Amino acid sequence: MTSHRRPAGRVSVNIRCVSSPPAVDTSYKTNVPRNANMAKLQAGYLFPEIARRRAAHLLKYPDAKIISLGIGDTTEPIPNVITNAMAERAHALSTIDGYSGYGAEQGEKKLRAAIAATYYADLGIEDSDIFVSDGAKCDISRLQVLFGSNATIAVQDPSYPAYVDSSVIMGQTDLYQQDVQKYGNIEYMRCSPENGFFPDLSTVPRTDIIFFCSPNNPTGAAASREQLIKLVKFAKDNGSIIVYDSAYAMYISDDSPKSIFEIPGAKEVAIETASFSKYAGFTGVRLGWTVVPKELLFSDGHPVAKDFNRIVCTCFNGASNIAQAGGLACLSPEGLKAMHDVVGFYKENTEIIVDTFTSLGFNVYGAKNAPYVWVHFPGRNSWDVFAEILEKVNVVTTPGSGFGPGGEGFVRVSAFGHRDNIIEAARRLKQLYK
């Protein structure tokens, strides 16, 4: 750059622009192609995406006092009767007599027996039908491996995103169709206020697998006995298998079935997954189970349970022995009472959230049998509502469209939170929408 003296008030500058050489990508690449199914996935998994947006909000407003009613993570301490049992088991591992290494991949016999006796008494489910795991979400993916890439699936719309995303990863789907917000080769069974959050099965084509969650995440709706009778008949008529997610069954307070196996004939067409996560605060401890009845057979007559056992033995070394000690304590008389107390606490939170939105004139759904409140914002984009609530009152919710196209126009509000935070969130929401 050179400059020359000019009359006052005028400065002339000559600038030479030299182009930089193009950036060269020097990173090493292998010759292994990327799994094409991973490239089909849209953006990030829903809940990490919410966490990313929450973190971005905190960068923008570092002093913001955020209350999270989005991701369904428990907040209250695990009851002492349960943690004491885990602590005792952990301490025993430091002794010669108490140490144990690998356990049975299917779970410890005492825990399998306790699960069968507690949740499936008189339903014809035996200890050997139960596979203890590190949580229902993990078992969903193991079941997808069991079914394979050629299986066709149906899901409730809206539904927990793990069903769809695991199906995409397995190669069961076609590409994402942006115009309808759906993946090809998945049947989306619309569940809305208009149909009581139960799909019109007469319009649903046959699929190999039907993922069905009750009480539902995110809508909170629990299927009635009559509805589940229809579902089991539909599966039997079509030769399909139901994967029934009962992770919130303990929140049911009416006469809705808590297990699919309460329905006659279900053992011939259904698998059930369940978890201690939302009952005992085990979201970090990780313990659940899957029931695969011996009556459930593939089209060639081979027992489904035998193949699932092989999947489990190949992909899993069994749930933590410390976590299983906690699970056994959960199912003791004292543990069951403690879990009911925890569930009752979250249900009280749910009532506060419901009262808040109904007082503001919103239509709300769910809540009665689940820790989730499904709030309708007619004509609004779910992510816009999510952003509005986060930006204006520092409360995190979950956009309904993240659970499928049927969730557009709704947000899910979780009741998992400390009571003071729930009350404060209610105050802020009333201030925003009054």
Q: Tokens 């589940």: give the residue.
A: 228
Q: Distance (Å, rounded) from C-alpha 246 to C-alpha 200?
A: 21
Q: Distance (Å, rounded) from C-alpha 73 to C-alpha 400?
A: 17
Q: What percent of the chain has pLDDT over 90?
A: 91
Same domain, 103 and 213: yes
Residue 102 pLDDT: 95
Residue 338 pLDDT: 98
Residue 38 inside a domain? The answer is no
- For position 52, which CATH number holds? 3.90.1150.10
Asked whether residue 178 carries a pLDDT value surpassing 50, the answer given is yes
For the chain, what is the domain count?
2
Same domain, 146 and 70: no
Asked whether residue 432 carries a pLDDT value surpassing 90, the answer given is yes
Same domain, 158 and 253: yes
Higher pLDDT among residues 109 and 51, named by residue? 109
Q: What is the mean pLDDT of residues 336-343?
A: 98
Q: What is the mean pLDDT of residues 281-287?
A: 98
Same domain, 107 and 52: no
Same domain, 57 and 86: no
Same domain, 347 and 298: no
Residue 15 inside a domain? The answer is no
Q: What is the mean pLDDT of residues 151-174?
A: 97
Q: What is the mean pLDDT of residues 166-175?
A: 97
Residue 20 pLDDT: 56
- Inter-residue long-range contacts of 344-349, CB under 8 Å, 24+ positions, other chains counted: 345/76, 345/419, 346/74, 346/76, 346/251, 346/278, 346/371, 346/415, 346/416, 347/251, 347/253, 347/371, 347/415, 348/419, 349/415, 349/416, 349/417, 349/419, 349/422
For the chain, the average pLDDT equals 94
Q: Distance (Å, rounded) from C-alpha 342 to C-alpha 340?
A: 5
Residue 17 pLDDT: 46
Q: What is the mean pLDDT of residues 79-100?
A: 98
- Single residue among 283, 301, 332 that ends a domain in this structure: 332
Position 15 confidence tier, pLDDT thresholds 50, 70, 90? very low
Q: What percent of the chain has pLDDT over 70?
A: 94
Same domain, 98 and 127: yes
Asked whether residue 129 carries a pLDDT value surpassing 60, the answer given is yes
Same domain, 126 and 273: yes
Residue type (1 letter), 392: K
- Single residue among 332, 355, 386 that ends a domain in this structure: 332
Q: What is the mean pLDDT of residues 108-133?
A: 98
Same domain, 255 and 173: yes
Residue 26 pLDDT: 78
- pTM of model > 0.75: yes
Q: Are 213 and 243 spatial neighbours (Cβ–Cβ below 8 Å)?
A: no
Asked whether residue 227 carries a pLDDT value surpassing 60, the answer given is yes
The string of pLDDT tens digits covering residues 21-55 is 666 777 899 999 999 999 999 866 788 889 899 99
Domain that holds residue 229: 80-332
Same domain, 350 and 386: yes
Residue 48 pLDDT: 84
The string of pLDDT tens digits covering residues 195-211 is 999 999 999 999 999 99
Asked whether residue 166 carries a pLDDT value surpassing 90, the answer given is yes
Asked whether residue 171 carries a pLDDT value surpassing 90, the answer given is yes
